[in-house]
Structure 1
Amino acid sequence: MRFKEKFGITDPDHEFFDINIYVDTKKFVDPYCVSQTPTFTGVAAQRCISFFMKELLTSIQNQTDTYSSYLCSRFNEPNGTRLGYSKVKRDGSGAGDHLAALFLQELKRIRHLIQNGIFNYLEECSLLCDELKFDRISDITIDIIKLPLIEFTQIQCHKYGIKMRKTKSKLSYFCISTGLWKEDYFELPHIDDSEEFLILIPRTFIPKVPTYNPMYFYTNTAQEHFKRQAIFNNDSCVSRDRKGNTQVLSKDLRISEQYKPSKSNIKRGILEKPELLLKYRNEIAMDIYIRNFRK
């Protein structure tokens, strides 16, 4: 059952993504889309991400591991949003510890990119971090922007007359005023008389397809760079057209071990030519974003 149906909302221009309240929907919050949303919630969420990432990347660059670990200490598979793959509870240290360790491990692997000012945005993890795919980046994003999302949910509930009650447990959120994680109880909509609360997310945070898709990046930026490199090195994927001109066919490039669309090759291409990231952000990502939300 969808949120709108459950709470009797008929407004076709609602701002929130209409979640299924009982099962997870395989959709993801995209931090690039957050950065392009000029609403009150969008600006507040972007401020959270920017502040958090600046603090985290500085601490990783300076190798202040204790502070880096603290910043990631409250990561968890978010409750209430009903997004992503179906969550399976982990034994032992828990999903939060796993996600925090994974995120820090991946960022430390690209410390050289951070120190050289090449890696700057959370969404770039999908291109540069092997184990951080769209679902993990979405979970991390939701954790960082939890407070703006809760406030957005409360605004929507007031708008549509939806009853809320306090959560039974405290929810953690990142406070940019102090740079600390805090906890509190929050008024949120619940599923009937259960303890299960719901958190709404703006539609503009959730694209049809993630913006920073490695294959999109490869096709639109890295591929041409690799073709020029292959021609310069006279690699085996180089051929000639009917007029005898040197060329590299995309199909030949993609089966070459050195130039195929793997994350390791994408990272190498970015390290060789950092402006590929800037080109993608300023040209390709914006085009994908516009197509994602075109009616």
Structure 2
Amino acid sequence: MRVSEFYKLGKSQSELDFVDVDIVNDVELYIDPSAISQLSSSWADSCVASIQSFFQRVLDAIGNGNDQEAISLLSALREPNETHLGLSTGRSRGSGLGDKLAEDFWESLSKSKAARSGLLQDLEDTALLIEGVDRDRISDITTNLIRTQLVEFTQETAKFHGIDLSPDVAYGRFWNPQTGEWYQSYTSLPTPNGERLLLVPKAIARRGLHLRAGEFYRHTVLNYLVVEERSTRSLGAVVRSRRGVTKTAVDEVLKEQFDAGRHNPGVEKRINTWAAERNPGLLRGYKEQKEENPAPPLSDETIAEAVGATIPPVSELLQKVVETPTGHADADNYERRVEALLSALFYPHLVFPRRQKKIHNGRKRIDISYTNAANHGFFYWLAMHYPAAHVVVECKNYGKELGNPEFDQLQARFSPSRGKFGLLLHRGYGDKAKAWSSCLDTARDARGFIIPLDDEDLGVLVREHEGAEQAEAFSYLHKLFQGLID
């Protein structure tokens, strides 16, 4: 049974900002640190700081010969069964560290010249260079290190969806990047069937790691060694193969030298380490290239398939919005349905939706707020040219024409750090040209940019989403925005 089913949320994966996992078994998805680092938000920055501070502390201990400190730091990493992500079959068991596993991981690191020489710098590097470390281990370690942030996300998400939280839940250890220490604490969490549940943002879930040892070996290391072999003949690949100096020939010779015919699956990582030690630019160049070409977040369809669910077409979500009666009595219902539709339409460009977010010490609230995480399309372009770290949405379920107060209310939610772009959702009553004039006044007075969207406009967005290959460019929104600045 998935989270949405257990808590009767009545929402599909496309309407949820977290991975809708089975509350008993594991889903074969993982947390990738690279996915976190490509998000532009204070939450993601906090996660990156925790991961980097811990791993640097471990590397420093190994470099200084302080083995006990390294083992002590690593031994606090435990099996994060509460996320229900990973490779376990049957009930979640995890593959985290702790006890002997911590010693094994430390031994792999301590024996690695890459760790002692400074070649290893990031946690993800271990998946490229250290045998026995792959997506499941990296995901488990990351979960431990960002537990504080995941608890925060879970609590906010639970409040957002009305999921009950159990108070004073005893919880393992949390990493403090400021003090460089582990600490224990109590917290509030959902506890379906009496078990802790930690929700994971779907924006950071992946099927595998962005940095991959096999890819680094085949496309970076072998290419470099082929060029070197043609000039130095140091490997003897020409003697051993009549095919000349090819990637296949170099691959065969290297694996004979580093594996002696044992066919150990970790041989490519040993070669990666050897090559990167000879030329550190190989690792640096590979990581820079991968950073310039980030992997897109998994689609809702892919995540739904992984969790064993189906998702409705966005046209059904639009229909729910359109069928909502106007008036104050259905204002909250309208807001919730708008959020469900916009979340499905705009993911993964806009993530972390928050309803009724308090600002100005609680004196004001934003109906819906999104974090702008786009790396292409309209929202990316918007953030490159205008303050748009967040996109705010105000919902007006009026059965009458909008007036200046409604536009002024949304403009008052803007700020340089929060952003100066918002969407005003309304039902389409009155003169649309008059409403647009109010938005033009706001833009010309440099008070921000507001795009009003009624039921008809939402229909255009939905048709664009369902029909065009380049729907994620949001050309209709881009066209409307151009009308504000031309």
Return the TM-score normalized by structure 1: 0.85
| Counterpart contact for 1:149–1:201, Cα < 8 Å | yes
Residues 95 and 178 (structure 1), Cα distance of their counterparts in 2 relative to 1, 3 Å cut: closer
Q: Quote the residue 2:45 is aligned against.
A: 43
Q: Quote the residue 2:228 is aligned against.
A: 229
Return the offset for 1:168. Answer: 4.6
| Counterpart contact for 1:175–1:181, Cα < 8 Å | yes
**Structure 1 unaligned spans of 5+:** 240-245
| Counterpart contact for 1:171–1:186, Cα < 8 Å | no
RMSD across aligned positions (CA): 2.7
Return the offset for 1:212. Answer: 1.6
| Counterpart contact for 2:81–2:94, Cα < 8 Å | no
The DSSP-based 3-state class of the residue aligned with 2:71 is helix
Q: Which amino acid is 1:170 matched to?
A: Y
| Counterpart contact for 2:31–2:206, Cα < 8 Å | yes
| Counterpart contact for 1:84–1:135, Cα < 8 Å | yes
Q: Quote the residue 2:269 is aligned against.
A: 263
Residues 188 and 291 (structure 1), Cα distance of their counterparts in 2 relative to 1, 3 Å cut: closer
Residues 291 and 38 (structure 1), Cα distance of their counterparts in 2 relative to 1, 3 Å cut: closer
| Counterpart contact for 2:83–2:200, Cα < 8 Å | yes
* Alignment of structure 1 residues 102-181 onto 2, 5 Å: 102-110=104-112, 112-166=113-167, 168-181=169-182
Q: Quote the residue 2:59 is aligned against.
A: 57
Out of 24, 27, 30, the position equivalent to 1:25 is 27
| Counterpart contact for 2:86–2:94, Cα < 8 Å | no
Q: Quote the residue 1:98 is aligned against.
A: 100
Superposed CA deviations along residues 114-170 of structure 1, whole A, max 9, x for unmatched, are 343211000111111112222112111111111111111111111111111036533
Q: Which amino acid is 2:205 matched to?
A: I
Return the offset for 1:249. Answer: 3.0
The DSSP-based 3-state class of the residue aligned with 1:262 is helix
**Structure 2 unaligned spans of 5+:** 260-266, 300-347, 349-471, 473-486
Residues 107 and 9 (structure 1), Cα distance of their counterparts in 2 relative to 1, 3 Å cut: farther
| Counterpart contact for 1:170–1:184, Cα < 8 Å | yes
Considering only CA atoms, is the larger Rg found in Structure 1 or Structure 2? 2
| 1:277 matches 2:274 | no
| Counterpart contact for 1:168–1:185, Cα < 8 Å | yes
Q: Give, in whole Å, the separation in 2 of the partners of 1:49 and 1:227.
A: 35
| Counterpart contact for 2:127–2:135, Cα < 8 Å | yes
Q: Which amino acid is 2:246 matched to?
A: L
Q: Give, in whole Å, the separation in 2 of the partners of 1:15 and 1:164.
A: 18
The DSSP-based 3-state class of the residue aligned with 1:22 is coil
The DSSP-based 3-state class of the residue aligned with 2:31 is coil
| 1:248 matches 2:245 | yes
The DSSP-based 3-state class of the residue aligned with 1:169 is strand
Q: Give, in whole Å, the separation in 1 of the partners of 2:164 and 2:238.
A: 65
Q: Give, in whole Å, the separation in 2 of the partners of 1:25 and 1:196.
A: 17
Superposed CA deviations along residues 29-87 of structure 1, whole A, max 9, x for unmatched, are 11222222222321111110111122221111111223222222311111210011215
Q: Quote the residue 2:381 is aligned against.
A: none
Return the offset for 1:262. Answer: 1.6
Question: Which aligned runs of 4 or more in structure 1 are off by greater than 4 angstroms?
Answer: 87-90, 258-261, 291-295
Residues 6 and 39 (structure 1), Cα distance of their counterparts in 2 relative to 1, 3 Å cut: farther
Q: Give, in whole Å, the separation in 1 of the partners of 2:210 and 2:102.
A: 23
Q: Equivalent pairs: percent with the same residue? A: 27
Q: Which amino acid is 1:216 matched to?
A: E
Q: Quote the residue 1:4 is aligned against.
A: 4
Task: Name the one with the larger strand percent.
Answer: 2
| 1:220 matches 2:222 | no
Q: Between Structure 1 and Structure 2, how many residues are aligned?
A: 283
| Counterpart contact for 1:253–1:259, Cα < 8 Å | no
| Counterpart contact for 1:226–1:259, Cα < 8 Å | no
The DSSP-based 3-state class of the residue aligned with 2:137 is helix
Return the offset for 1:237. Answer: 3.8
Moved more, 270-279 or 260-269: 260-269
Superposed CA deviations along residues 249-294 of structure 1, whole A, max 9, x for unmatched, are 3333333335997221111111111111111111135425248678
Q: Give, in whole Å, the separation in 2 of the partners of 1:159 and 1:238.
A: 64
Q: Quote the residue 1:187 is aligned against.
A: 188
Which structure exhibits the higher relative contact order, with contacts defined as CA atoms closer than 8 Å and separated by 6 or more residues?
A: 1
| Counterpart contact for 2:76–2:98, Cα < 8 Å | yes
| Counterpart contact for 1:126–1:132, Cα < 8 Å | yes
Q: Which amino acid is 1:29 matched to?
A: I
The DSSP-based 3-state class of the residue aligned with 1:248 is coil
